[in-house]
Structure 1
Amino acid sequence: MAVIKPMIRSNICINAHPIGCAKETVNQINYVKSQKAKRGTKTLAEGGKGPKTVLVVGCSTGYGLASRISAAFEYGADTIGVSFEKEATQTKGGTPGWYNNLTFDREAKAAGLKTATFNADAFADETRATIINQIKEWNTKVDLIIYSLASPVRIDPDTKVLYKSVIKPIGQVYSGASLDMMTGKITQASTQPAEGDEIPNTVKVMGGEDWERWIKQLKEAGVLADGCRTIAYSYIGPSLSHAIYRDGTIGEAKKDLEKRAHNIDASLKEIGGAAYVSVNKGLITRSSSVIPIITQYLGVLFKVMKAKGTHEGCIEQMERLFAERLYTGADNSPAKVPVDSENRIRMDDWELAADVQAEIDRIMPTVTEENLEQTVDIAGIRHDFLAINGFDVEGVDYSADVADMSKID
């Protein structure tokens, strides 16, 4: 038995609270249920025509988890999820995603929904074969595939070579303010430019090759429904972060993802389907927290957007993606999706609005350790960072002993 406190260093939290993770996942489910009631969305059982069987590749946290929750609890979809998590034991904690998956499965089953979650390497052909068998076992076909993988490494299924991704600028050193969310300290951080094979290796891990492979193998197995759509997630962000993100190694990977979306789209058109990249809003995540300038930018962004009433977290954004972009036809049926000139869905429209960015440009140069409370939503980004790991979640007694680290109740 032990009291679990967050173990944090330099914007990285290395542990998770099982009860807190479960509670936070339930909070997201309850939000979607409230939106369903507000919008009058019909589930399949209520005569709706939304998604029936949804596959989420990278289902355990962030946008992937939020997408799975939206599909299941607003539309009544059966879902299959895959992610690679560290499993908890009675005495050793698991990753936040492991607890999130346990909670999702528990709540979906209680709601009478089919759910299957696989703790496996989503890059492996063996995992794809397992998923295909599960779809066939359910005697169904998939009509929506969410691709939301974020991984530092990938083993190529053909060559068995291990590739590693890096978050680095290209061509020159990148320097920017680094805000430590927990201490409020601001330092100048520099990141050296990518060297050697770091750019192609990052594209190999975080680009669209694996997404394309997923769709190809699912299609060849005959488990895609007519009209099946697939969506992968990306980020562009403001010009001030382009050197480290959009024009850096991760940006090159995202550009590859967007390019391959066109190939996948052409393939799915043969069965009346489509492929999209959704460009989402910047949020506090396990990876964004360690990129120079990003944490400070997000702190200012949150403050500005909350003042305007347009701030969204993962679950708010994914619920809006489903309800206001994907399933806008009669009885929530799939309808024409609004896209930009590159066939991308722009969920970052509120973040990149001219008035929002103008206010951020005004505030960013003025931020100091002394005026953090006035210029940055430090409480908001700190809460989001902790909540990802199951801490600072309302209704959880963090002074209580946790007798079994593998249980979520």
Structure 2
Amino acid sequence: MNFKQNIRGNVALGVNPLGRKQQVLNHINYIKNKSSYEGPKKVLIIGASSSYGLATRISLAFGAGADTIGISYEKGPKSKRNLGTAGWYNNIAFKEAAEKEGLTAKNFVQDAFSHEIKQEVIEYIKNEFGGKVDLVVYSLASGRRTDPNTGQTYTSSIKAIGDSVVGPNINMQKEDYYTETLEPATEQEIADTVKVMGGEDWELWMEALKEADVLSDGVLTTNYSYLGSELNHPYYGNGTLGRAKADCDIKADAINGLLADINGKAQIVVATAVTTKASSVIPFFPVYCVGLYKVMTEKGTHETPIMHMDRIYRDMIYGENAEYDKEGRLRPDSWELDSDTQAQTKVLIEELNEENFNTDKTAYDLFYKEFSNLSGFMVDNYEDQDVTIEELKALDY
């Protein structure tokens, strides 16, 4: 079967299942080539099939020896023209590798926002997963959410708040550098974005798990955030996305109160800028990334999701190098926000235009490769193999 990369704008439509398997194995080997570390042993990851969630799962399983439950909403193959989603194959590749190591790797491929999946996971923890979990990771990224209490569906909007924002962006399909205008959101769009991408579902999960008594004493729950710098505040931190992230801070305080009697903790982790399916479509963000990555690569501080998540858990949360801000948030993004890194990035971005944005002046090639990797293309160590649609359909998650 011939796998072809297909991009529309900055959205990947095609997938190479074998390439995704190889990338998962690459990430596993990255962890296995490092020493093991002491960490949690029973982990629930909500949003486990790609990017931060998948990287977290790989680090904890192959670095700390954790049994894991992963929840995601992915689609399997239907035909040669509809091979499903990359996350579908990520789940399968992870499960296969983890089970070879004697680890439990349970995949729930369902709507994580529903009450039904919460109860199914709780029953699995009680009956087949040792009864309790000691880490709950919330890493769910979705543009839509149906409120399980009302049945109403909400859609998020990536927009500014207050005034329009005008700036440069990159179209990877056309390899085009252009000016984009981001219009301000309405109050309803702001509220809907918070409803989808804020901390409400995280809190619902923790309430359900606590009520069911499947959280261990001293349980930790983490939620990934992003704050960025003054270079992207107009469209991120001060936009609808920033408002949703602020809601997660509020919900963290509520969850801390909920977990107080079992010595639990809710931890917001402010992550660094990395290439994900979501970050690729944020207006202006690709321009920031090709500038930032160039500077950080030269400094030796650029990270992919697997590198970043492993550092967070190995060195910070379960290590001795944790950095917190005054609000108590974990700040592994300090490398990105280093003053010299930001100053150099600012100068570089200001020099970009349609003639040089994709030259060796920037990290455009690196950004494009990392973006392609998400769908199983341009993967290191990949060797083409013959596979049929029937064999892909027979894969079991």
User: TM-score scaled by structure 1?
Assistant: 0.92
Task: String of CA shifts for 1:254-313, please: whole Å, max 9, x gaps.
Answer: 000011111112222211111111000111211221222210110111110010011111
Report what 2:167 is aligned to: 176
Q: Does residue 368 of structure 2 align to residue 382 of structure 1?
A: yes
- For the 8 Å contact 1:152–1:165, the answer to whether it is kept is yes
Report what 1:66 is aligned to: 55
Question: Within 5 A, what are the aligned runs for 1:365-404?
Answer: 365-372=350-357, 373-397=359-383, 401-404=386-389
Hey, what's the Cα distance between the residues in 1 that align with 2:395 and 2:62? 20
Hey, what's the Cα distance between the residues in 2 that align with 1:394 and 1:76? 25
Report what 1:159 is aligned to: 150
Report what 1:239 is aligned to: 230
Partner residue of 1:225 out of 210, 216, 221: 216
RMSD in angstroms over aligned alpha carbons?
A: 1.7
Task: String of CA shifts for 1:168-220, please: whole Å, max 9, x gaps.
Answer: 11112121111123543201111221124111011001000110110011000
Report what 1:332 is aligned to: none
**Structure 1 stretch displaced more, 260-269 or 245-254:** 260-269
Task: String of CA shifts for 1:329-360, please: whole Å, max 9, x gaps.
Answer: 7xxxxxx9542111100011100000100101
Partner residue of 1:213 out of 204, 213, 225: 204
Partner residue of 1:313 out of 298, 301, 304: 304
- For the 8 Å contact 1:53–1:143, the answer to whether it is kept is yes
Hey, what's the Cα distance between the residues in 2 that align with 1:370 and 1:196? 39
Matched letter for residue 102 of structure 2: G
Report what 1:54 is aligned to: 43
Question: Within 5 A, what are the aligned runs for 1:116-131?
Answer: 116-131=106-121
**Structure 1 stretch displaced more, 319-328 or 198-207:** 319-328
Give the Å deviation of 1:362.
1.1
Where 2:237 maps in the other structure, the secondary structure is coil
Report what 2:331 is aligned to: 346
Report what 2:20 is aligned to: 21
Partner residue of 2:255 out of 261, 264, 270: 264
Give the Å deviation of 1:125.
0.7
Q: Does residue 289 of structure 2 align to residue 298 of structure 1?
A: yes
Give the Å deviation of 1:4.
1.2
Unaligned runs of 5+ in 1: 43-47, 330-335
Report what 1:86 is aligned to: 75
- For the 8 Å contact 2:46–2:137, the answer to whether it is kept is yes
The structure-2 alpha-carbon separation of the partners of 1:360 and 1:337, relative to structure 1 and needing over 3 Å to count, comes to closer
Report what 2:177 is aligned to: 186
Hey, what's the Cα distance between the residues in 1 that align with 2:261 and 2:41? 20
Hey, what's the Cα distance between the residues in 2 that align with 1:366 and 1:293? 15
**Structure 1 stretch displaced more, 3-12 or 345-354:** 3-12
Larger relative contact order, structure 1 or 2 (CA cutoff 8 Å, min sep 6) = 1
Hey, what's the Cα distance between the residues in 2 that align with 1:59 and 1:234? 16
Report what 1:111 is aligned to: 101
**Structure 1 stretch displaced more, 253-262 or 266-275:** 266-275
Task: String of CA shifts for 1:33-92, please: whole Å, max 9, x gaps.
Answer: 1122xxxx35xxxxx5x2010000000001000011111001111000100011223533
Report what 1:142 is aligned to: 133
Partner residue of 1:195 out of 175, 180, 186: 186
Hey, what's the Cα distance between the residues in 1 that align with 2:323 and 2:356? 40
- For the 8 Å contact 1:152–1:164, the answer to whether it is kept is yes
Question: Within 5 A, what are the aligned runs for 1:24-35?
Answer: 24-35=23-34
Identity of aligned residues (%): 41
Hey, what's the Cα distance between the residues in 2 that align with 1:87 and 1:149? 19
Where 1:247 maps in the other structure, the secondary structure is coil
Hey, what's the Cα distance between the residues in 1 that align with 2:360 and 2:145? 42
- For the 8 Å contact 1:199–1:249, the answer to whether it is kept is yes
Matched letter for residue 153 of structure 1: R
**What count of residue pairs does the alignment treat as equivalent?**
391
Report what 1:406 is aligned to: 393
Where 1:82 maps in the other structure, the secondary structure is strand
Partner residue of 1:362 out of 343, 347, 363: 347
Task: String of CA shifts for 1:149-184, please: whole Å, max 9, x gaps.
Answer: 110111111111101111011112121111123543
Give the Å deviation of 1:394.
2.2
Give the Å deviation of 1:408.
7.1
- For the 8 Å contact 2:178–2:354, the answer to whether it is kept is no
Hey, what's the Cα distance between the residues in 2 that align with 1:292 and 1:347? 24
Hey, what's the Cα distance between the residues in 1 that align with 2:59 and 2:249? 24
